[in-house]
Amino acid sequence: MTFDLGPALLFCPADRPERYEKAMQRADAVILDLEDAVAPADKTAARGHLIESELDPARVIVRVNPPETADFAADLATLSQTDYRRIMVAKAESPKRIGKIDARFDVVALCETAKGVAQADRLAALANVSALMWGAEDLVASIGGTSSRKPNGRYRDIARYARSRVLLAAGARGKAAIDAVHLDIDGMKRLRIEATDAAASGFRATACIHPSQVAVIREAYRPDEQAVAWARAVLDAAAGERGVFSHEGRMVDEPVLRHARSVLARAGA
């Protein structure tokens, strides 16, 4: 399966069914979370809510518990009773385990531990994996750290490295990459900076934890009119050229043309 849901993916606790529809309406896709967002005592009830829900399966991702846990088997058994077939595997670390997941499910591998990031290349190579996502806080915790960000709000080097490694691993295999959530709900300026960078760097989407973040992410991924006009002009100019050529004083070759096509694709043109 290809991964093309739109740029803003909104997490929603699976034990809060009253929020399902609202999350779906406000974002491009909803991630119903059976893992960290749900207390152990509430997971069984959350699975029941999933079975009873009637969301559009094409716009739903279900985050399931890690494959090493007993909850993982229960999660998949639950989803087998629904039409939801795209899952996000929390704390994905083992390509062998991920590769053995029932072929009916399309997998987003969440690389959020040191082992998971180290295995990003092999996870992206799996046929049943359509996308990789990375996570900052679990990653830092897995190596004994206490914070993924500096006091000024910027990522520490280890988080920036993990982000880049997951993006490159996904890109090398032609898979989508999803950027991590921004936990500071009021930090819209930093979210805007990071989402803009994510779009320019090649991420397909950014996950978020609050509806107020959706508009910021969508705007960041949407090229402005000037960028769209440039892309169209370059591609129009290329129609009459062979190989490398000059356009408005800038050398244009195939990588530049691919940039232009990506701009138009994100603009929906």
Interval 179-231: pLDDT, tens: 999 999 999 999 999 999 999 999 999 999 999 999 999 999 988 777 878 88
CATH level 3 topology of 8-221: TIM Barrel (3.20.20)
Helix axis angle for 254-267 and 225-238, nearest 10°, is 130
Predicted local confidence at residue 1, as pLDDT:
59
Q: Per the confidence metrics, is the pTM higher than 0.85? A: yes
Inter-CA distances, 7 with 12, 40, 83, 90, 192, Å: 16, 30, 23, 20, 13
Inter-CA distances, 2 with 12, 174, 181, Å: 23, 10, 22
Mean pLDDT of 253-264: 83
Give domain limits for the chain.
8-221, 225-267
What mean pLDDT, rounded, does the chain reach?
Answer: 94
